[in-house]
Amino acid sequence: MFEHDVLVIGAGLAGMRSGLAAVNRGVNVGVISKVHPVRSHSNAAQGGINAALTDRGDPWQDHAYDTIKGSDYLADQDAVAVMCQEAGQEVIGMENMGTIFNRDDSGRLGTRKFGGQREARTFFVADFTGQALLHVLYEQVLKAGVRVYEEWFVLSLIVRDGQCCGAVVMEIRTGDIHVIRAKSVVMATGGLGRVFEPSTNALICTGDGMALAYQVGAPLMDMEMVQYHPTTLKSNGALMSEAARGEGGFLINSTGERFMERYAPNMMELASRDVVSRAEQTEINEGRDVNGCVFLDCRHLGPKRIEDRLSQIRQLGIDFANVDMVEAPVPIRPGMHYQMGGIKADVDGLTSLPGLYAAGEVACVSVHGGNRLGANSLLDTLVFGRRSGEHAAERSRDMVHQSIDDNDSETDRKSIQGMLDREGRELFGKIRFELGQTMNTNLAVFRNHSGMEKASSEVDRLRDRFSKVVVADKGKTFNTNLLFTLELGFMLDCAEAIISSALERKESRGAHTRTDMPERDDKNWLKHILVNRIGDGDREIQHLPVVITEWAPQVRSY
């Protein structure tokens, strides 16, 4: 048995920021992650982190407005205000801890332009900003001496007397199952990209945290809002950062036309991501594509600018599309990238379940609403990671632990033994692939009722097959076969939540664009959709008003 005041699940940016904030408040913190912290998917955030710095004449309200407009007015405006007001301190704080940022001529932090924003307020490190931040946070976690359970996997959350008070976990290296007792648990496990195939997300993004919370009755919010990034490679779904367009790259179709002129005459390639992805998909659907792709054209930027600021994605193009962006346009298409929805949480990370906090992509605060702006995700992880860590620390300070012990792991032990004992021919890989394809076919850039219904029944069928899945590896040591099978269970729960929310929202807003209901309907649908699991397998859908403070919904054009 292990014991911590605050247990953080996930060691990406949100998780480590949370753990660091909590340990700075003087409580005992443990951080658990199924991969080593620097392997976390925060690494993959390339372009930068947004912050409006008042002393540079960029008021936070402008950042807030861009964020809210980008969200198609589904973001809670009080939460957006918190994020935008605290952005500067968070970016400067990370710089002071050691993050290397690109500078301007005066030696101060430099900025670049990013999509959906009127100001250049994106701070960046070449095109590996996420990696630079993640490694520095790991350094700080080492410095603070936080206990990190590297390569430990969370099987379930423990709830006693209506409070989340620990987790059942498995040490991957040995296969041993343990209970970790905690006064507060912060969920920071990131996204669920692998529910879709292809996706820009890493293979570890399997929605564990959302499913774990969902399973113990914490509602998930706005799960239908799945972002498709405008520039991904066809071969493996790899991301080509928005920085390419921020630095001045064009999007062209098969005729060489800069087609964004017809969709977003003012912001062109730097309109919101949902707008650009829809435009691309329309071009592709109407036949102005080459093999299902349009093109990202950066040739006019010249080799030096590309090498200094976009070297990593240049390499990705060479490696995975056989195209050097210095010499030729890179074929790209919209690809699943980010989950705006997640565990319903407030600005201090509090979820509907006492003792359980959530921050980062796993949470829905909601600051991204129907569409997240590029470079707002890193900001989200840091601001709400810190706030949840601080709140969880304060809450835990004068509390006593619930009396849970190793017996609380019995259910998980039995279910894992059941999986290992099963014989048959059903492979987890096939089910995962079919799930991903189903979601990518029916819940992509454009959706309609019949497609989503089809996906729903397909997921039910896959769930049946999942109950017969066989784990070939029966051993205890580093049994990844077992882990992937457990993750597939989480993914099926996430898919269920996404589909039921999507079927519920009978309008088009942000990333949720229905060809059968193409208009935004503020009168009936300016609200959040919550999915809650009640009992075994039953779902309950609820609506929640959107918090509007000073920015009334308007027609959205770029």
**Using the rule CB under 8 A, is 272 a contact of other proteins?**
no
Decide: 67 and 89 in contact? Cβ < 8 Å.
Answer: no
In DSSP terms, 250 is beta-bridged to: 297
**Using the rule CB under 8 A, is 60 a contact of other proteins?**
no
Smallest gap from Cβ 83 to other proteins, in A, equals 20
Which H or E element spans position 245?
Answer: helix 243-246
Provide CB contacts within 8 A for 98, sequence distance 6+: 136, 139
Judged by CB under 8 A, the chain residues 483 through 542 that form the site for other proteins are 484
Smallest gap from Cβ 415 to other proteins, in A, equals 18
* Start-to-end Cα distance in the chain: 55
Q: Which is nearer to other proteins, 131 or 376 (CB)?
A: 131
Q: Which is nearer to other proteins, 390 or 434 (CB)?
A: 434
Q: How far apart are CA 31 and CA 321, in angstroms?
A: 38
- Residues in contact with other proteins, shown as a per-residue x/- string from 134 to 173 under the rule CB under 8 A: -xx--xx-xx-----------------------------x
**Using the rule CB under 8 A, is 471 a contact of other proteins?**
yes
**Using the rule CB under 8 A, is 462 a contact of other proteins?**
no
Smallest gap from Cβ 383 to other proteins, in A, equals 18
Question: Of the listed pieces 128-136, 326-334, 366-374, 447-455, which binds other proteins according to CB under 8 A?
Answer: 128-136
Q: How far is CA 430 from CA 177, 407, 425, 427, 466, in A?
A: 27, 34, 11, 6, 10
The one catalytic residue in 63, 112, 245, 505 is 245
Residue 526 CB neighbours (<10 A): 17
Q: How far apart are CA 300 and CA 554, in angstroms?
A: 36
Q: How far is CA 55 from CA 20, 119, 529, in A?
A: 28, 14, 38
**Using the rule CB under 8 A, is 416 a contact of other proteins?**
no
DSSP 8-state assignment for residue 508: -
Smallest gap from Cβ 435 to other proteins, in A, equals 13
Smallest gap from Cβ 33 to other proteins, in A, equals 12
User: Is 245 assigned a catalytic role?
Assistant: yes
**Using the rule CB under 8 A, is 192 a contact of other proteins?**
no
Query: What DSSP line would sit under 135-186, residue for residue?
Result: HHHHHHHHHHT-EEEETEEEEEEEEETTEEEEEEEEETTT--EEEEEEEEEE
The one catalytic residue in 41, 181, 229, 520 is 229
Smallest gap from Cβ 198 to other proteins, in A, equals 10
Burial 131-148 (b: 16+ CB within 10 A, else e): bbbbbbbbebbeeeebeb
User: Is 63 assigned a catalytic role?
Assistant: no
Tell me which residues are annotated as active site.
229, 245
- Name the site residues for other proteins (rule: CB under 8 A): 35-36, 38-41, 43-44, 55, 92, 95-98, 100-110, 125-126, 128, 131-132, 135-136, 139-140, 142-143, 173, 202-204, 235-236, 238-239, 308, 312, 315-316, 319-322, 427-430, 432-433, 470-473, 475-481, 484
